[in-house]
Amino acid sequence: MNSFITSQFSIFLLLVLCATTFHSVMCSTNMQLLCNEKDQSALQIFKHGVLNHSKMLPSWSNEEYCCAWQGVHCDNTTGRVTRLDLAQQYLEGDINLSLLQIEFLNYLDLSLNGFTSLTVPPSHANFSSNNIMFLDLSFNDDLHLDGLHWLSQFSSLKYLNLSEISLQNETNWLQTMAMHPSLIELRLASCHLTNISPLIKYVNFSSLVTLDLSGNNFLSDLPYWVFNLTKISYIDLSFNLLQGELPKSLLSLQSLKTLRLNENEINGSIPDWLGQHENLQYLGLSENMFHGSIPSSIGNLSSLVELSISSDLLSGTLPTSLGQLFNLRSLSIAGESLSGVLSEKHFSNLSNLESIYLSAPFSFDLASDWIPPFQLNGISLSKTNLGPKFPEWIYTQRSLVYLEVPSSNISSINGDMFWRFLANITQVILSNNTISADLTNITLNSEIMFIDQNNFTGGLPHISANVILLDLSHNSFYGPISPLLCNKLGRKNSLDYLDISSNFLTGKVPDCLESWKDLSFLLMENNMLTGEIPPSMGSAIDLVILDLHNNSLSGNFSVDLSNITGLEYINLGQNNFTGTVPTKMPHGMEVMLLKSNQFEGNIPAQLCKLSSLIQLDLSNNKLSGPIPKCISEIPSMGGAHRTIHYPFAINLYTKGQELEFKDYGLLRTLDLSSNNLSGEIPSQVFHLVQLQTLNLSRNHFTGKIPRDIGNMNNLESLDLSSNKLSGEIPVSITNLSFLSFLNLSYNNFVGQIPVGTQIQSFNPSIFAGNPGLCGAPLPRKCPTESDGVDESKQHGGSNDDGVDNESLYLGMGVGFAVGFWSFCGSLFFIRAWRHMYLKFLNHVLDQLHGNGIFGWLRL
């Protein structure tokens, strides 16, 4: 009996195993069969237009089952493709909307890639899919769409995100979106849109819950239709140019939880009725033009989690009612005209507060033993009267990630306790206070630390391997740099940014920079450093900016920097470097400032190979010889090429004075002044049509100014003074419509100053030292035409044209004289001719008299 049961059980297990195996095989077979041919074909057409440099789509092949492809999701029952999610896969190329042929596709996410175009199949194509509810093409920054007509294929659309895609030519976008009344979420942030239709009161967005139109170019009043969206919960219109006052229709939006209107030009007062909007959780009103005071009714917004308000036109004090916002986690208030004293009442019930940002001249009246009801992760108290002593209550905040108290009138700190407290904070900003302390034996540990513009003294502090950004500039540190840079940290350092400029540091640049390979920004200007640049400088292969100007460094600059491919900016000015101009630079160099040294010899032609160069300053050296003609081969100065880089802080001599600029890659300058350069200025210099500043003054240049100067349409400052230039000033100089500074003094120019609106408005001193010049704005008038000067030459032509015109006019005069006397002589000496001519004149006079002409003249 037992054997029978055992046998039966064995047979049962075998059947179960067979059934399971059979089911597995059958399922596998069915899944393979259910990979729909149309779905796979549409996916392959899409893939054909994709540039897959990152190799993120290796699985997309004809041999494999399409539901197993990267980013493809299928229905478990039918095997049909329902989702395509390829967000942030580093894809480029074309988005082919052949994907619309996938019948059951309802989710399409191609965001955060590098697509540049979108192909819409012909209107007669068979679009099977009208089921797409989620469409996200956002953050394809180089994707420009000429129209949105293709969106009409998505009749079931509920979520649409086209943020960071250029729609600058789309003027009817609102009407297109209104064709999708089922939309729940619409995001069109930073799309270069310009028309928000402010006068339209109602748009058919009956289901819309989320609307993000931030970062566009809406220069208009606040749109009526936005504040009539009855179901709306989230509105973001920040970073536009919207104007007008807050509409009271806001009160009717009872579902509204988020309202972001930051960075606009909204004016009027912050209305008292805003406090009735008890469901608001996020309210952003910062960087607008509100005036008046902050109403105390804001304290009634009991649901508020985040509040930001700022305007330089706001006045008055901060209402104590803000202390009632017990749900508040983030508070941001700024305004240079705000004032008053903050007490414990302002913070009494803010037990959930996580971050506070105040930028206004508030004072604090807090007990020395006050313990706040909150534990913050971030404190930013800028331009407040927080000092003179660093406040004790901040020491109670044990969860701080960042502490920013710049320009807060702090002058004293509690020694070791202060530095131990900062050691556990990731970001510390103490800039622009008057804190005095000796940091010789202090080790800094914060990842980001800005303690610039204080009164810190002693030797440079030590740093741990955690430090990434460190700014010690504009203090009173003295001694060598080696304790900071040559200290062994025990493990690989993280330092990326180091600014020790504007101190009293002495000695040589230490030869231990091979340990700082991650260093990108090295700023050591305005110290008293001496000696030569060490070879290890070339080992800092990640350098982007190297600034050593205004020290006493010397010797030949022979360091090879050509392998530092990311180096964009170098400033060696105001030192004592000798030898020839350094040429071992990377091709990507953009700014090269070498002024006020002892460089000599010719300007090396190798500089012409720096294809990205936009600023070159070799002024006040001992350079000689001509300007190399290859200078016109620098495309960034001559062509339309534009660069965008880290904002360099630059002092440039332009427009007759030293000016400070923050350059984002738009400035184009060439300064070769105060050298011993000679020869004619090659016409190639005037082919650098992108230049804004050109200074060739105080050299020994000869010859004439080429007429090509008129093509330099971007030129704002031109200085050719104190040379030996001659000839007439070319008339084409009047084409320089942006020219605001000109100096042609102390040359040998002659003739009339060209007539042009700008030229005559300049001070006469810019033409001083040219005794041969005449005409406005000089008091010396030019000779009249009878004195031998033909003023018509001022209306066109070059210097050479003047010579040609003189010959032409002389020939015309001689020809006229010969012809005139030949004719008149014949009349005078040949009687028959004289009678015929008089008879002809009589006939003409009779005709005139008969037509009444003489009678009219008598009247």
Residue 650 clears pLDDT 90, i.e. is over it: no
- C-alpha–C-alpha distance, residues 410 and 404, integer Å: 12
From the CB of residue 300, how many other CB atoms can be counted at a distance below 10 Å? Answer: 17
CATH architecture for segment(s) 45-382: Alpha-Beta Horseshoe (3.80)
Q: What is the DSSP string of 194-253?
A: ----TT----S-TT--EEE-TTS---SBPPTGGGG-TT--EEE--SS--BSPPPGGGGG-
Q: Per-residue pLDDT tens for 145-199?
A: 878 888 888 888 999 999 999 998 888 899 999 989 899 999 999 999 999 998 8
pLDDT of residue 147: 84
Which residue type is seen at 769? G
> Which is it for strands 591-593 and 569-571: parallel, antiparallel or unpaired?
parallel
3-state secondary structure of 20: helix
| Cβ proximity of 552 and 506 under 8 Å | no
Task: Residue 353: name the closest of 399, 290, 387 by CA.
Answer: 399
| Cβ proximity of 537 and 557 under 8 Å | no
From the CB of residue 604, how many other CB atoms can be counted at a distance below 10 Å? Answer: 14
Task: Residue 684: name the closest of 738, 642, 626 by CA.
Answer: 626
Specify the length of the chain in residues. Answer: 859
| Cβ proximity of 282 and 259 under 8 Å | yes
Mean pLDDT (the chain, rounded): 85
pLDDT of residue 635: 79
H or E stretch at 857: helix 853-858
pLDDT of residue 661: 61
What number of CA atoms fall less than 13 Å from residue 638's CA on the CB side? Answer: 18
Q: What is the DSSP string of 267-294?
A: -SB--GGGGG-TT--EEEE-SS--BB--
pLDDT average, residue stretch 78-96: 92
From the CB of residue 371, how many other CB atoms can be counted at a distance below 10 Å? Answer: 9
Residue 124 clears pLDDT 80, i.e. is over it: no
In whole angstroms, how large is the CA radius of gyration of the chain? 39
3-state secondary structure of 48: helix
Window from 440-444, 453-457, 489-493, 617-621 with minimum mean pLDDT: 489-493
Beta-bridge partner residues of 83 = 73, 107
Q: Per-residue pLDDT tens for 247-306?
A: 999 999 999 999 999 999 999 999 999 999 989 999 999 999 999 999 999 999 999 999
pLDDT average, residue stretch 66-73: 89
- C-alpha–C-alpha distance, residues 117 and 123, integer Å: 18
Task: Residue 304: name the closest of 375, 369, 353 by CA.
Answer: 353
Q: What is the DSSP string of 319-354?
A: -GGGGG-TT--EEEEE-TTB--EEEGGGGTT-TT--
pLDDT of residue 129: 56
pLDDT of residue 446: 96
Which residue type is seen at 828? F
Q: Classify the C-alpha dihedral 798-802-808-809 as positive or negative.
A: positive
3-state secondary structure of 153: helix
Beta-bridge partner residues of 499 = 471, 523
Three-class secondary structure assignment of 420-476: HHHCCCCEEECCCCCCEEECCCCEECCCEEECCCCEEECCCCEECCCCCEEECCCCC
pLDDT of residue 6: 43
Question: Judging by beta carbons within 10 Å of its beta carbon (0-12, 13-18, 19+), is residue 303 exposed, middle or buried?
Answer: middle
Residue 814 clears pLDDT 60, i.e. is over it: no
pLDDT of residue 643: 57
pLDDT of residue 825: 45
Q: Can you say how many angstroms the Cα of residue 792 is from the centroid of all Cα atoms in its chain?
A: 47
Residue 654: pLDDT band (50, 70, 90) is: low
Task: Please calculate the CA angle 248-251-257 and round it to the nearest 5 degrees.
Answer: 125
Q: Per-residue pLDDT tens for 378-402?
A: 999 999 999 899 999 999 999 999 9
Window from 381-395, 537-551, 789-803 with minimum mean pLDDT: 789-803
- C-alpha–C-alpha distance, residues 464 and 747, integer Å: 59
- C-alpha–C-alpha distance, residues 677 and 722, integer Å: 12
| Cβ proximity of 81 and 104 under 8 Å | yes
Residue 794: pLDDT band (50, 70, 90) is: very low
Window from 198-212, 577-591, 626-640, 748-762 with minimum mean pLDDT: 626-640
- C-alpha–C-alpha distance, residues 687 and 739, integer Å: 16
- C-alpha–C-alpha distance, residues 655 and 641, integer Å: 24
The residue extents of the domains of the chain are: 45-382, 812-858
Q: Can you say how many angstroms the Cα of residue 288 is from the centroid of all Cα atoms in its chain?
A: 22
Record the tokens describing residue 399, joined without a space.
Answer: 């969860």
pLDDT of residue 664: 56
- C-alpha–C-alpha distance, residues 399 and 375, integer Å: 7
Record the tokens describing residue 109, joined without a space.
Answer: 């996410």
pLDDT of residue 239: 97
From the CB of residue 542, how many other CB atoms can be counted at a distance below 10 Å? Answer: 15
Residue 577 clears pLDDT 50, i.e. is over it: yes
Residue 531: pLDDT band (50, 70, 90) is: very high
* Residue given tokens 């508020």 in the structure block: 304
Residue 106: pLDDT band (50, 70, 90) is: very high
Q: Per-residue pLDDT tens for 23-54?
A: 333 334 334 445 788 898 899 889 988 987 66
* Residue given tokens 């450093």 in the structure block: 529
Task: Residue 144: name the closest of 176, 191, 110, 196 by CA.
Answer: 191
- C-alpha–C-alpha distance, residues 689 and 670, integer Å: 12
What are residue 684's phi and psi, to 5 degrees?
A: -60, -30
DSSP 35: S
| Cβ proximity of 791 and 775 under 8 Å | no
Beta-bridge partner residues of 455 = 436
3-state secondary structure of 83: strand
Record the tokens describing residue 449, joined without a space.
Answer: 């630390």
* Residue given tokens 């969206």 in the structure block: 229
Task: Please calculate the CA angle 368-370-376 and round it to the nearest 5 degrees.
Answer: 120
DSSP 721: -
pLDDT of residue 639: 59
- Percent with pLDDT over 90 in the chain: 64
Q: What is the DSSP string of 157-202?
A: --EEE-TTSB-TT-S-HHHHHTT-TT-SEEE-TTS------TT---
Task: Please calculate the CA angle 278-283-285 and round it to the nearest 5 degrees.
Answer: 135
**pTM score:** 0.78
Q: Per-residue pLDDT tens for 824-833?
A: 444 334 444 4
pLDDT of residue 481: 94
Residue 799: pLDDT band (50, 70, 90) is: very low
* Residue given tokens 């530095």 in the structure block: 419
| Cβ proximity of 144 and 164 under 8 Å | no
More confident residue, 211 or 130: 211
What are residue 820's phi and psi, to 5 degrees?
A: -65, -50
Residue ranges in 622-781 assigned as alpha helix (H): 635-638, 757-761
- C-alpha–C-alpha distance, residues 547 and 576, integer Å: 15
Record the tokens describing residue 552, joined without a space.
Answer: 């006493």
More confident residue, 126 or 786: 126
- C-alpha–C-alpha distance, residues 330 and 333, integer Å: 10
pLDDT average, residue stretch 791-814: 41
3-state secondary structure of 697: coil
H or E stretch at 833: helix 831-850
Q: Per-residue pLDDT tens for 669-708?
A: 999 999 999 999 999 999 999 999 999 999 999 999 999 8
H or E stretch at 578: strand 576-578
Four-CA torsion 246, 248, 250, 252, nearest 10 degrees: -170
3-state secondary structure of 798: coil
From the CB of residue 709, how many other CB atoms can be counted at a distance below 10 Å? Answer: 21
- C-alpha–C-alpha distance, residues 147 and 708, integer Å: 42
> Which is it for strands 258-260 and 282-285: parallel, antiparallel or unpaired?
parallel
